[in-house]
Structure 1
């Protein structure tokens, strides 16, 4: 998967963490947040002109459901070479993808089912085919 890394952090689920990862070019950014209870991945358009730049949100995990939450993990955020697609990797395993061009998000939990705006109207269900966005 040819990507460039935009952010890296040590992740201990249940410990509050916010990791911002802007694309190297353009107005797009993604943010991973663990608020102590859940992990979410957000797509942002900083040039949207709206007060809230969040375009979409993907549920990554509920801390209470992680059996090995006492073990630290490596969080990485990578971007495609065209700066339009972002991938969230935890221990080098893809958990979520945002495709800013198609306005679509994919995550392993498939939640939330739809975003309610013009993003991910078909839902957030994971498909391994989304990995081809980085080919």
Structure 2
């Protein structure tokens, strides 16, 4: 998968962590957050000063993570055209944002589409999302 690494952090599931990963070019940013209860991945368009959040993807509920006592590695990679981002936890893809198509994909398929106009068909995972990085 040809990506460039925008962020890498050690994750202790259930301990507060925020990882911002802006694209090297353009106005797009993604962020991963573990707030102690859940893990979410956000798509942001920094041209909007009022509310840059375009979409949010549920990654996990802390209570449901079986190996949460072990440290993990969170990585965020961007496509070379700076319009697609992937969230990797222990090198396993958990979520993808495609800023051109305004679509997010995650393994949990949650939450339902918001009123932002993004991901109108839902957030269900599709392995074809990884082909966006080919």
| TM score, norm. by length of structure 2 | 0.98
Alpha carbon RMSD of aligned pairs, Å?
0.6
Contact 1:3 1:80 in 2 (8 A): yes
Find the aligned partners of 1:92 and 1:68 in 2 and give their Cα distance: 15
Find the aligned partners of 1:93 and 1:77 in 2 and give their Cα distance: 11
Matching of residue 126 in structure 1 with residue 125 in structure 2: yes
Find the aligned partners of 2:5 and 2:114 in 1 and give their Cα distance: 26
Where structure 1 has 5 or more consecutive residues not aligned to the other structure, the ranges are none
| TM score, norm. by length of structure 1 | 0.98
SS in 2 for 1:122: coil
Corresponding residue for 1:111? Answer: 110
Find the aligned partners of 2:114 and 2:107 in 1 and give their Cα distance: 16
Where structure 2 has 5 or more consecutive residues not aligned to the other structure, the ranges are none
Alpha-carbon shift at residue 65 of structure 1 (Å): 0.4
Find the aligned partners of 1:115 and 1:94 in 2 and give their Cα distance: 23
Q: How many residues align?
A: 134
| Regions of 4+ moved over 3 Å | none
Summarize deviations over 1:38-67 as a string: whole Å, max 9, x none. Answer: 00000000013x411000000000000011
SS in 1 for 2:18: strand
Alpha-carbon shift at residue 68 of structure 1 (Å): 0.8
